[in-house]
Structure 1
Amino acid sequence: MLKFIIVDDEPLAHEVITELCNMIPHIELVHNCYNAMEAMQFLNENKVDFMFLDINMPKLKGLDFLKTLSQPPKTIITTAYKEYALESYELNVVDYLLKPFSFDRLVKAVNKVSESSALITTTKEVAETSTRFFVKGDKKHHQIDLNDLQYIEAYGNYTKLFLKNEMIVSHEKISYYESILNKDNFLRVHKSFLVAIDKIKLIEGNRILINEHRIPIGQTYKSNVNKLYNS
């Protein structure tokens, strides 16, 4: 059962989405949020699999709210404004629904959440129980040894995996690797960088040194990095 929330300032939107989702057996609505601040508080205290998120809300817009979350749930945008689609997909949203949308269109979006969740679960089990896994890139499947993986850099809708002796461009986004890799071994230090903790040579100011590579520390992730040496 996939748990979700609705984040929208319009009560009618909640009614419509709830009515449609009640016809889908494998998902469960756990909370209705009528502004971004309410959603932020709920997500700080609870874990959900995905959320329906409106864009045009008072005080804090939907996309600005999404940017504040270091580990957001999978997100389906529901909006009357088509001009934010590109920016939304740059934030790794699962789908973008234009109001009013049909039941078929909503089911398609929910199925994308289900498929990605199943894939991540399967891959995560492999990544946590094995030191090797396969990565698709350049029309090939590369076998990655986690002991050789030094850091990962976001590269548009792709990622660059920097290994001991090579670099591989992967078709997956950085959020995918953050979700499957063991958090005891790999740490997100910037919106564009995920590093292997045991490969860190030193931390100086807002930079991490891994071999000759200098990796920036994002302000949002600085507290996580500080825990490495303040624990």
Structure 2
Amino acid sequence: MLKYIIIDDEPLAHEIITEFCSMLPHVQLVKSCYNAMEAMLFLNEHTVDFMFLDINMPKLKGLDFLKTLSNPPKTIITTAYKEYALEGFELNVVDYLLKPFSFDRLVKAVNKVSDTVSTKTINKESIQTSQINTRIFIKGDKKHHQVDLNDLLFIEAYGNYTKLFLIDEMIVSHEKISHYETILNENNFLRVHKSFIVAVDKIKFIEGNRIIIHEHKVPIGQTYKSLVSKLYN
């Protein structure tokens, strides 16, 4: 779970970001700050993975605030002023969102955070917990589906989405396959192809370059053959 804060003096901006992020199951809002000084006090006592930072704020501007932080969280700039983009990227911000921005554009920015943060470390706790609690929530079709991992057969990449094949149904998820490779227990789930992750205990048999799971045939990628062979060698 990626923890984030919002730093913006406009309440409407908080509402929009919070609403968009509420549709992303892997991020969690921990603080809404309405000026840089409030954010500074919070960050002195707490650690977050990333922050949405407005530029034009009273007393202390967003970029000036960012310069004061010796070890800042990953930063997504949110502003109506495009002329500060170069300065923002010189400060190693992850992305620069021009207001008003769409949900898709925000998702792209958050995905950049996910790519730069060591998600394996962040998710160690959730992975350990999953050994006890085998249920996770999957965002798909404007719903959050609760899935028992014991029912999961395999996962297939589907562009920027994924298809989760369960014993009795198939769910299209809004996450990329790399997200599931990160959060699933590697002892129970194996990447066997750039587009497929399989549940090891659901494999019926392996034949040539394919894996049979129930009535499904899953291909084995050339670069994954050695990993698959470890299952039986």
The alignment-based identity, stated in percent, is 61
Q: Kindly tell me: are residues 104 and 224 of structure 1, through their superposed partners in 2, closer, same or farther at Cα, counting changes over 3 Å?
A: closer
Count of residue pairs the alignment pairs up:
145
1:220 lines up with 2:208 in the alignment:
no
* Distance in structure 2 (CA, Å) of the matches to 1:208 and 1:179: 22
In the alignment, which residue of structure 1 is the partner of 2:205? Answer: 202
In the alignment, which residue of structure 2 is the partner of 1:25? Answer: 71
Q: Kindly tell me: are residues 123 and 171 of structure 1, through their superposed partners in 2, closer, same or farther at Cα, counting changes over 3 Å?
A: farther
* Distance in structure 2 (CA, Å) of the matches to 1:116 and 1:171: 20
Unaligned regions of 5+ residues in structure 2, if any? 1-46, 48-65, 74-84, 97-108
* Aligned-partner residue type, residue 103 of structure 1: L
* Distance in structure 1 (CA, Å) of the matches to 2:200 and 2:138: 21
1:112 lines up with 2:113 in the alignment:
yes
Unaligned regions of 5+ residues in structure 1, if any? 2-19, 28-96
Q: Deviations over 1:187-218 (max 9, x none)?
A: 00000000000100010000000011110000
* Distance in structure 1 (CA, Å) of the matches to 2:113 and 2:197: 25
Post-superposition offset of 1:133: 1.1
In the alignment, which residue of structure 2 is the partner of 1:183? Answer: 186
Post-superposition offset of 1:120: 3.9
* Distance in structure 1 (CA, Å) of the matches to 2:158 and 2:95: 30
* Distance in structure 2 (CA, Å) of the matches to 1:24 and 1:196: 43
Post-superposition offset of 1:127: 2.8
In the alignment, which residue of structure 2 is the partner of 1:193? Answer: 196
**What SS does the corresponding residue of 1:228 show, helix, strand or coil?**
coil
**What SS does the corresponding residue of 1:154 show, helix, strand or coil?**
strand
Normalised by the size of structure 2, how large is the TM-score? 0.52
* Distance in structure 1 (CA, Å) of the matches to 2:147 and 2:229: 28
* Distance in structure 2 (CA, Å) of the matches to 1:174 and 1:188: 10
* Distance in structure 2 (CA, Å) of the matches to 1:103 and 1:144: 40
In the alignment, which residue of structure 2 is the partner of 1:129? Answer: 132
**What SS does the corresponding residue of 2:185 show, helix, strand or coil?**
coil
**What SS does the corresponding residue of 1:129 show, helix, strand or coil?**
coil
In the alignment, which residue of structure 2 is the partner of 1:38? Answer: none
Matching residue within 102, 109, 112 for 2:90: 102
Q: Quick check: 2:154–2:166 contact (8 Å CA) kept in 1? A: yes
Q: Kindly tell me: are residues 125 and 115 of structure 1, through their superposed partners in 2, closer, same or farther at Cα, counting changes over 3 Å?
A: farther
Post-superposition offset of 1:129: 2.8
Which of the pair has more CA radius of gyration? 2
Post-superposition offset of 1:102: 2.3
What is the RMSD computed on CA atoms of the aligned residues? 3.7
* Aligned-partner residue type, residue 130 of structure 1: N
For 1:1-231, what aligned pairs fall within 5 Å after superposition?
A: 24-25=70-71, 101-103=89-91, 105-106=93-94, 112-113=113-114, 117=119, 120-121=123-124, 123-230=126-233
Q: Deviations over 1:17-58 (max 9, x none)?
A: xxx99x65168xxxxxxxxxxxxxxxxxxxxxxxxxxxxxxx
Post-superposition offset of 1:106: 4.5
Normalised by the size of structure 1, how large is the TM-score? 0.53
* Distance in structure 2 (CA, Å) of the matches to 1:26 and 1:126: 29
| Segments of 4+ moved more than 2 angstroms | 104-111, 113-129
Q: Kindly tell me: are residues 177 and 106 of structure 1, through their superposed partners in 2, closer, same or farther at Cα, counting changes over 3 Å?
A: closer
